[in-house]
Structure formats: structure tokens, C-alpha cells
Amino acid sequence: MVDASTSAHGDLKLSHLTKSFGDFKAVDDLSLTIPEGSFFALLGPSGCGKTTTLRMIAGLEEPTSGTMHVGNTDITDMRPYRRPVNTVFQNYALFPHLSIFENVAFGLRRRGIKDVKAQVDKVLELVELPHLAERKPTQLSGGQQQRIAVARAIVNRPALLLLDEPLGALDLKLRRQMQIELKWIQTEIGLTFVHVTHDQEEAMTMADTIAVMNEGRIEQMGSPADLYDNPKTAFVANFLGQSNLIKGAIESNGADSLLVNLFGQKVALPRSRSAAKDSSILVGIRPEKFRIQPEGKEMSGNILTGGVISDVSYIGVSTQYQVEMPWGQELIVFEQNDDGVPPLDKGDKVKLSWEPIFTFGLDGSQDANAGSKLIADEEE
């Protein structure tokens, strides 16, 4: 039953992929290439079209327009069972009438493989559930079902493995362990993984490339470090880690640095790191890049004065300050706890400084809070 198309391999290429449900575009003109053998993470808020994208790649949802290729094979109109793709479903979708063993063996048997025991046992060993082989799915906990869903897919070693939040139901420890396991499987077997997740830390630690999705479109794509250091939109800056985005106006445009007026105070940033289109700019600084000092002390680099600490939270390795600036905005500052005691208190007058090279600039016409509320909602 294995045919040529099932063994197709190569880069996954999506071109102008669109999926509409009525008037609503769940996926909007998506184009991207996922190199063979890479670990690709799709990150985005709930409802942004991640599952819909995966379902189109798996052949379970018909694209409204656009094409999909694996290597040189056009898979756009291929039946799901002919695609070299397996999916770990968001809701597991284990077969309730089959034992765990038969669930895992399902794909192997359909491809006409007779001797499945060795392979099934091995993959059950991998997800650490060999003792549950004879049980039915309803007799498993959510986390166990999730691991079986992973096992059922990877046992087939497809060219492309789609994982739809495969670790969502696991506790933190098991989650970290499975992340390492999955990453190991991916590099060992050389499969291409497309991994959907809400968890930005998971995406950052596991993926070679992250695509941040929002409202059916890709906001930005790149390596984890690149996305973190050089976000191109306010949404990405806020969704991937936290950012302080301050509205300003570009005053002078030097050869390799810009001078920006932030509510009367002047700061500099490298010209190469600015994505501003005109003189209106959002100046971005990650919270851990700030240094915080009591008012009156000498500081170097970019400096903002006139802050008042409005909140202090001590979180082990670091202390998190909220500083209210004269223009009313609350900035977030993370300070390493080198001596273990928070040296500043609520109500203290402070100034903030940072190196100009740690500053990024975004187009000033967008909402500075885009993407930040979504995270807060999800963590509730």
C-alpha cells in the first residue's frame, strides 16, 4: 500500500494558502517554506489559524486557494492517506474501541506491515508507557493519552510530523522531559516537525525557526534569537517575551544612529535596528536590558529620568519593578539579584539607563499594546 507519493520528501512549501469559512478568513494568503529536517514552530494566540493551517497540510481541510508542495510533489489535492504526513491532534483523537497497542500500530498495519510488535513496543518505551499497551484510551489520564497520540504518529516516521499543541496537557516537569524527547527524536530520525504551541518558551527552546501568527497571517518568521532581538512589529515584540514600547519622534537621522525624542528626553538607537517608516517611532527596550538606579547617581548610555517605582516583585533570581514615567506609562524592569536583596522600594525616585545597541525601533503608527493583552488573557 506504500506508494511513491507517501515516500515523497523535501522542503514543505506553502504558497498563498488561504482558508475562508464564509466571509471569515481563518488563514490569509500564507506563504512559507519549511526546510526538510527542521524543527518549525507556529506560535500565536488562540484562534489565529494554527490548527486550520495544520489541517490543510494534513489534507483534512481543503484550502480555499493556494498550493502545497513537499519537495517537488504537489500535495494540494492529495487524499490525506497518501500524504507523507502524520498529525498529533490537539484533542488526541485516539480510537476508543482499540487498545493502546492497536492505536499505535494502526498506521503501520494500514501500510501493510505485518510485524508491528517490535516497533510499537519501542515507541511505547520512548513515551514511557509500555505497561499501558493493553488498556483502552478512556482508561488513561489526559497526559498519558497525549503521549500515546505522539507515539501513534512518530511510529510511522513520516517525512513531516504535524504536532498541534502536543504537550498542552502535561505538567511542567513531564513537559520539559517530552520536549527533550521530541527534539531528540526529531534530530535522530531527521524528521521535519511543524509544532504548534501557545507556549513561547517551548517554541524558543525547541525550534530552529519560529513563525509568529496573528489573525491568519504570519507576522514574522525567524530564528528564536532573531525574533526576540529584532521584532519587526509591536505584536511580535509583546507576544514573544515582554517589551517596553515607548512612543517617540525621530529628531535627527545620523549615518548609523537615530536620535529620538521620548516625551522630551533624548535617546539614541542604531539606524540598522529601526523599522520606522517616517518620523513617528515606537522605541523598544526589553525589561532585562534596563539598569535601574536611584535618582542622582551617574549613569551612561541612554537615560530616562523622572521614574517612580510603583510596584516591586521579588521573583527569586530577579526582581521585577514597575516604574511609572512622567508621561504616565508604566515600564517594566528586570534586575538580576546579585546580592539577593531588592535595593529599591516602592515610591523611590529612579532613573533608567541602557546601552543604545539594545534598542529597537518599530513603525510608530501601530498600537503599542498589540499582542500583550492576549498573553495576559491566556495566563488567567
Partner 1 sequence: MKQATRWFSKNLIRIYAGLGFTYLFIPVLYTFAFSFNDYRKSNLAWRGFTLNNWKNPCGAPDICNALGNSLKIGLIATTIATILGTLIALALGRYAFKGRTFVNLLIFLPMATPELVLGASLLTMFLNFGFNPGFLTIVIAHVMFCISFVVVTVKARIASLDPRLEQAAMDLYADERETFRRVTLPLLAPGIAGAALLAFSLSFDDFIITNFNSGNVNTFPKFVYISAERGLPAQANVIGSSMFFIALIIVLLGQVVQRKRKVS
Ligand X SMILES: Nc1ncnc2c1ncn2[C@@H]1O[C@H](COP(=O)(O)OP(=O)(O)OP(=O)(O)O)[C@@H](O)[C@H]1O
Interacting residue ranges for partner 1, rule: CB under 8 A: 1, 6, 58-60, 79-81, 85-87, 89, 91, 93-97, 106-107, 110-111, 134, 136, 152, 156
Q: Which residue in the shown chain puts its C-beta closest to Mg ion?
A: 51
User: Whose Cβ is closer to ligand X: residue 48's or residue 350's?
Assistant: 48
Q: Minimum CB separation from Mg ion for residue 164, in Å?
A: 6
Q: Which does 93 bind (CB under 5 to 8 A by kind): partner 1, Mg ion, ligand X, none?
A: partner 1
- What DSSP string runs through 290-335? -EEEETTS---SEEEEEEEEEEEEEETTEEEEEEE-TTS-EEEEEE
What residue has cell string 533570581? Answer: 317
Distance between CA 190 and CA 184 in Å, rounded? Answer: 9
Residue 199 near residue 42 (C-beta atoms within 8 A): no
Q: Which does 1 bind (CB under 5 to 8 A by kind): ligand X, partner 1, Mg ion, none?
A: partner 1
User: Whose Cβ is closer to ligand X: residue 195's or residue 351's?
Assistant: 195
Phi, psi values for residue 306, rounded to 5°: 90, 15
- Segment near Mg ion (CB under 5 A), from 46-54, 206-214, 298-306, 348-356? 46-54
Our finding on whether 197 is near Mg ion (CB under 5 A) is no
CA atoms within a 13 Å half-sphere pointing along the CA-CB vector of 8:
18
Q: Please report which residue ranges of the chain form alpha helices under DSSP H.
A: 50-58, 100-110, 117-126, 142-154, 172-189, 200-206, 224-229, 234-239, 372-379
The angle at the Cα of 108, spanning 103 to 113, to the nearest 5 degrees, equals 135
Nearest C-alpha neighbor of 293 from the set 304, 284, 278: 304
Q: Minimum CB separation from ligand X for residue 182, in Å?
A: 19
376-380 long-range contacts, Cβ below 8 Å, gap at least 24? Answer: 378/45, 378/46, 378/198
Q: Which one of 35, 47, 142, 326 is in contact with ligand X (CB under 6 A)?
A: 47
Give the x-and-dash track for 101-140 against ligand X (CB under 6 A): ----------------------------------------
Give the x-and-dash track for 47-86 against Mg ion (CB under 5 A): ----x-----------------------------------
Q: Minimum CB separation from ligand X for residue 259, in Å?
A: 41
Our finding on whether 353 is near Mg ion (CB under 5 A) is no
Cα distances from 176 to residues 182, 199, 206, in angstroms, run: 10, 12, 10
User: Whose Cβ is closer to Mg ion: residue 211's or residue 234's?
Assistant: 211
Distance between CA 185 and CA 191 in Å, rounded? Answer: 8
Our finding on whether 314 is near ligand X (CB under 6 A) is no
Q: Give the binding site for ligand X (CB under 6 A).
A: 21, 26, 44, 46-52, 90
